Amino acid sequence: MADRVTKEIRSYNMSKIKGKNTSIELKVRHYLFHHGFRYKINVKDLPGTPDIYISKYNVAIFINGCFWHHHYNCKLAYIPKTREKYWISKFNKNIDNDIKNKKELEQMDIKVITIWECEIKDCFQYRMESLLEEIKEKR
């Protein structure tokens, strides 16, 4: 268990520090591009630096890792047994940030869509089809 956590942290740090894109982000981007959507990625000018922003529809998309964003009721969102307190406060901070960023974006009249890691892993095709609907949906 400890090894597994260490590995996840390491790969997360690598991906964030080097600005390397995670494979689930790439899968979503490729799907959207293939379906004719054009977008910006890692938009630092917007709250929370959305992973994808589609200006035509004024939609910001976050692709969240279930562990780091502590996806509610998700099997991937476990709390490591060691340093439990540290993790809980870390997850709470991440959750608070996500809520704050979403609010700020919505105040700017930007629609926010969150895609979870487990949705991509378990039912990619279904999630992508509903994503296209969500993007085009009138607010």
Q: Based on CB atoms, which residue is closest to Zn ion, 110 or 119? A: 119
C-alpha to C-alpha distance for 127 and 121, rounded to whole angstroms:
10
Q: Closest Cα partner for 63 from 108, 110, 98, 105?
A: 98
For Zn ion, which stretch binds (CB under 5 A), given 20-28, 96-104, 108-116, 129-137?
108-116
Q: Based on CB atoms, which residue is closest to Zn ion, 29 or 71? A: 71
Tell me how far, at minimum, the Cβ of 36 lies from Zn ion, in Å: 28
Of residues 5-34, those binding Zn ion (CB under 5 A): none
For Zn ion, which stretch binds (CB under 5 A), given 24-32, 87-95, 110-118, 121-129?
110-118
**Which residue in the set 32, 60, 71, 128 belongs to the binding site for Zn ion (CB under 5 A)?**
71
Q: Closest Cα partner for 109 from 34, 55, 41, 66?
A: 55
Instruction: Say whether residue 116 binds Zn ion (CB under 5 A).
Output: yes
Q: Closest Cα partner for 113 from 68, 69, 67, 51?
A: 51
Residue pair 83/89 in contact by the 8 Å Cβ criterion:
no
